[in-house]
Amino acid sequence: MVQSRLLDIAISEFGSKGLEGASTRAIAAAAGTAMSSITYHYGGKDGLYLAAADRIAERMSAMMTEPFDVPAGVVEDAAAARTRIHRIFARLADKMASDENADWTLFVLREQMRPGAAFERIYGGVMGQMIETLADLVATATGCTNARVARITTITLMGQVLALRSSRATFLKLLGRDALGADDIHDIKARIDANIDAILDSMRAEEQGQA
């Protein structure tokens, strides 16, 4: 289907070059069609960009719902919440590490740097709910009763994982690599897991100290 191909290529081009950097001619050519079909299907470049954002929201949802799922019959105590947190971040780290997911993850990162209507759609669609759920899990896992603190912690936790994409170039330079290998990803994920536990433990200790 032309529309589907068009969207995939749009996500890739917009992700790697940004809205202004990508050209509708190039996108159409790569999709094997004429530029005017972008006008026909999406009304223009901006419409294509928003449609790409919507598709990203769907993709994100599809990729993340499984680790977000609560296993049947599990009581959500602190330990269970922590397990889910690890599962979610492990999945996120895989997406941030793999080259296949570079396009849409970069698209989202670009939108964060200069948020527009596309960010509203992505965040409002699924991303916002996911992060809020994650913050709730952090609260449950640590016994933290202050939602604001739990949210701040959640973003610092996410930052570690997002660095796989947002600071990829630094990562590669520092490790002396051209690309992340399986062993690199393994070690990074192990470090992230250890960090999550260390941070959650320290928050838990803080909460108990206050009580």
Partner DNA sequence: GTCTATACTACGATAGAC
Partner DNA sequence: GTCTATCGTAGTATAGAC
Interface residues with DNA (CB under 7 A)? 2-3, 22-26, 32-41, 44-46
The binder of 70, among DNA, a copy of itself, none, by C-beta within 5 to 8 A per type, is none
The binder of 64, among a copy of itself, DNA, none, by C-beta within 5 to 8 A per type, is none
Decide: 6 and 47 in contact? Cβ < 8 Å. Answer: no
Tokens of 101: 């997911």
The binder of 40, among a copy of itself, DNA, none, by C-beta within 5 to 8 A per type, is DNA
Which residues in the 6-65 window bind a copy of itself by CB under 8 A? 16-21
Q: How many C-beta atoms lie closer than 10 Å to residue 72's C-beta?
A: 5
Q: How many C-beta atoms lie closer than 10 Å to residue 70's C-beta?
A: 12
Task: Tell which residue, 117, 130, 96, 128, has the closest CA to residue 53.
Answer: 117
The binder of 161, among a copy of itself, DNA, none, by C-beta within 5 to 8 A per type, is a copy of itself
Q: How many C-beta atoms lie closer than 10 Å to residue 193's C-beta?
A: 15
Residues belonging to the chain: 211
Task: Tell which residue, 13, 15, 39, has the closest CA to residue 3.
Answer: 39
CB of 136 to a copy of itself, least distance (A): 12
CB of 190 to a copy of itself, least distance (A): 9
The binder of 195, among DNA, a copy of itself, none, by C-beta within 5 to 8 A per type, is a copy of itself
In angstroms, the CA 70 to CA 84 distance is: 8
41 versus 132: smaller Cβ distance to a copy of itself: 132
70 versus 155: smaller Cβ distance to a copy of itself: 155
Decide: 138 and 200 in contact? Cβ < 8 Å. Answer: yes
Could you say which of 84, 86, 95, 110 contacts a copy of itself (CB under 8 A)? Answer: 110
Q: How many Cα atoms occupy the beta-carbon half-sphere of 108 within 13 Å?
A: 24
Site residues (vs a copy of itself, CB under 8 A): 16-21, 106, 109-115, 119, 123, 127-128, 131-132, 135, 148-149, 151-163, 165-171, 173-175, 187-188, 191-192, 194-195, 197-199, 201-203, 206
